[in-house]
Amino acid sequence: MASPEIEVLTQALARLPGLGPRSARRAVLHLLKKRETALVPLLRALELVNERLATCSTCGNVDTTDPCAICADPRRDQRSLCVVEEVADLWALERSRLFPGRFHVLGGRLSALEGVRPEDLSVDRLIARLTAGGIDEVVLATNATLEGQTTAHYIAERLEGFPIRLTRLAHGLPVGGELDYLDEGTLAQALRARRPID
């Protein structure tokens, strides 16, 4: 019985990850009730993102400039490249401020279930960057999931023959992790990769 405008908005919100039809309707009602403090700010924020943000044609990051601030920053280590699945992973690594080099966003992970094939990822663009030269190390920082590891294996194969050091993030106990709460896969990895105590 809601007006068509409301139905369309409800459907647009319901397609967001984390929201279903019912929670989308609740969100719409919230937006309608808090017009000035919720609906208008969300509208303006979406407008700004839509107007200003672009995908970096070099690394796949999302930023107001192309190339993005990371690619354009001369203080970043140009010889080191970190390959991640999604922009979210790039942000997570940037929050840690630990990686001094630049990034390459694949745009997903290989997945038979979700129908994601190699040509859906930006692997060719990664190879083009390596072919252009000047890169010494590639860190494969895909997720520690089955799909993430499959993707890392696939990329490692594609990068064979390039004169680069190819590494991946270490697997093992997370900081603060308790053995009793960890899955067997993590335990197995941590045990296999055990190191001498110095």
**Interface residues with its own copies (CB under 8 A)?**
1-3, 5-6, 8-9, 11-13, 15-19, 23, 25-33, 35, 38-43, 45-50, 52-53, 55, 62-64, 86-88, 90-91, 94-95, 107, 180
Least Å distance, CB 76 to its own copies, is 13
Instruction: At 29, list the tokens.
Output: 């009602």
Nearer to its own copies, 103 or 138 (CB): 103
Q: Do the strands 165-168 and 137-140 form a parallel or antiparallel pair, or are they unpaired?
A: parallel
**Helix (H, G, I), strand (E, B), or coil: what is residue 155?**
helix
Nearer to its own copies, 33 or 165 (CB): 33
Residue 5, C-beta contacts closer than 8 angstroms, at least 6 positions apart: none
Nearer to its own copies, 1 or 197 (CB): 1
Least Å distance, CB 89 to its own copies, is 10
Instruction: At 80, list the tokens.
Output: 């080191």
Least Å distance, CB 5 to its own copies, is 5
Least Å distance, CB 25 to its own copies, is 7
Nearer to its own copies, 21 or 156 (CB): 21
CB of 70 within 8 A of CB of 103?
Answer: yes
Least Å distance, CB 41 to its own copies, is 5
Nearer to its own copies, 63 or 147 (CB): 63
CA dist 186 and 179 (Å) reads 9
Instruction: Choose among 45, 46, 48, 11: nearest CA to 28.
Output: 11
Least Å distance, CB 178 to its own copies, is 11
**Helix (H, G, I), strand (E, B), or coil: what is residue 82?**
strand
Residue 55: enclosing H or E segment and its boundaries? strand 54-55
CA dist 5 and 163 (Å) reads 57
Nearer to its own copies, 88 or 146 (CB): 88
